[in-house]
Amino acid sequence: MSIASSKDIILETARNIFQRFGFAKTSIGDIANAARKGRRTVYTYFENKEEIYKAVIKKEVDVLRDKLSDAVFSESSAQEKLKHYLVTRMMTINELSNYYDALRNDYLQDFKIIENIREDFDNQEISMISEILTEGVEDNEFKIDNINLTAKAIVVAMKGFEIPFFIEKVDKDIEGQLNSLIDILFNGILKR
């Protein structure tokens, strides 16, 4: 078995265990046993549990980024790109339990590595949304005075909706609620 495949097995196993039991209740021994590897093998690739968790989160962020990129490129108009981006973002985060666990748990707030991953992804999201908005302005679909500020506002708004959607599980119709929010984003609240 190659070095890369052993590492991948450990990461996938760790992802599943973190998903099931959470970061705090998972040990290196749990990961090693489930991966059918010795603890020494796990330590060959990772210094500690935090490093494994960081790698799992990074892998999930890569999945999210890829899905968002696919969503944007699958549509032709900027309006459809933005809609598809926002729905794909929320639905994918709902599926990526370890990433979302890292976003919501207070005990991970001091984990600087996770904070850096979040911050990097926020900046990437702002950039991706800015590109969509710029295209929309150029194609006369959107009227936006400050594209960067608007992109930041969209990212902050979507992050604000993560808690009621995923932690509190307020409503099972996430996509329907997202479409209502997207309608507000596009059409505002002013009576015309």
Tell me the mean pLDDT in the region 62-78: 90
Q: Are 91 and 32 in contact (CB under 8 A)?
A: no
Which residues form the domain of 39?
Answer: 1-46
Domain presence at residue 192: no
Of residues 71 and 134, more confidence is placed in: 134
Q: How many domains does the chain have?
A: 2
CATH code of the domain in which 34 resides: 1.10.10.60
Tell me the mean pLDDT in the region 9-31: 90
Same domain for 79 and 145, yes or no, is yes
DSSP alpha helix (H) spans, the chain: 3-21, 28-35, 39-45, 49-73, 78-95, 97-104, 112-138, 147-162, 174-187
Q: Are 32 and 41 in contact (CB under 8 A)?
A: yes
What pLDDT does 1 receive? 45
Which one, of 24, 98, 78, lies nearest residue 186 by Cα? 78
Q: pLDDT over 90 for what percent of the chain?
A: 42
Q: pTM, whole model, 2 decimals?
A: 0.78
Same domain for 10 and 69, yes or no, is no
Question: In this structure, what token pair is assigned to residue 73?
Answer: 């490129």
Same domain for 133 and 76, yes or no, is yes
Query: How much is the mean pLDDT over the chain?
Result: 84
Domain presence at residue 32: yes
How far apart are the C-alpha atoms of 154 and 130, rounded to whole Å?
Answer: 10
Q: What angle do CA 59, 63, 64 make, to 5 degrees?
A: 115
State CA 108 to chain mean position distance.
16
Neighbours of 36 (CB within 10 A): 10
> Amino acid identity, residue 37?
K
How far apart are the C-alpha atoms of 53 and 23, rounded to whole Å?
Answer: 8
Same domain for 174 and 119, yes or no, is yes
Domain presence at residue 146: yes
Same domain for 116 and 176, yes or no, is yes
Same domain for 62 and 40, yes or no, is no
Same domain for 40 and 22, yes or no, is yes
Same domain for 123 and 149, yes or no, is yes
Task: Tell me the pLDDT band of 143, cut-offs 50, 70 and 90.
Answer: very high
Same domain for 96 and 114, yes or no, is yes
Residue 113 has pLDDT above 50, yes or no: yes
Neighbours of 157 (CB within 10 A): 13
Same domain for 95 and 128, yes or no, is yes
Same domain for 12 and 58, yes or no, is no
Same domain for 8 and 72, yes or no, is no
